[in-house]
Amino acid sequence: MIRAVIFDLDGTLIDSAPDIWRAANQVLEGEGLPHVTFEQSRSFIGRGAKVFVERMELAVMGANDPARTAHLFQRFLHFYERAHEGTRVYPHVPEALQALRGQGLRLGLCTNKPLRPTQAVLAHLGWDRLFEIVIGGDSLAVAKPDPAPLLAVLKGLEAGLPEIAYIGDSETDAETAERAGARFGLYTEGYRKAPAEALYHQFRFSDYRDLPDLVHG
């Protein structure tokens, strides 16, 4: 029986790609470097902020330099923590979250977004008390697709793997769920690059109005 639902954040509950793109170009402009396109920026999302910056740096410079990467990463975090004015919640997400809570299910969040930007956007959306356990991309020594962050949320929710459903949108989320052995629901309107059929999942959906029934299988 499902007792808890754990969500990814970017591309799953919210579309933050425009704000991430804006933050990236603020960093690049401040360094006198060329901008990246929205499509480039969106393709960099998924493995956490550090990997995003590495991919951004590689795109504009043709190579990564550890000292430069570290500097760009710190500058990116500065803007990223404040970048949520253009972020939008996917349709029917608030209603679905309330419906799940109405079923007595506990809610957790497992994202590769660093914890401080995560907390900032949750506060901006009025969701800072919605999720009982929040694990960010820098909360542990490893990030998704390593299953450890997902398992940490399970531990915090005092739930076992058969008692949870994990909801995400990307290859990273699918791999995380598969490596953990978790029941995975794929939201198909996010940042995924591969065909939905190619990813590990037990169910998939494009409309959040369907989720409260789907999590129970």
Residues annotated catalytic, as ranges:
8
Measured CA angle at 104 (ends 102, 105), to 5 deg: 105
Determine contact, residues 49/81, Cβ cutoff 8 Å. Answer: no
Residue pair 38/24 in contact (Cβ under 8 Å)? The answer is no
- Which amino acid makes up residue 81? E
Q: Residue 7: which of 160, 103, 144 has the closest Cα?
A: 144
Type and span of the H or E element at 132:
none
In order, the DSSP letters of 46-86 are TS-HHHHHHHHHHHHHSS--HHHHHHHHHHHHHHHTT--TT
Spatial separation of the C-alpha atoms in residues 88 and 202, rounded to whole Å: 27
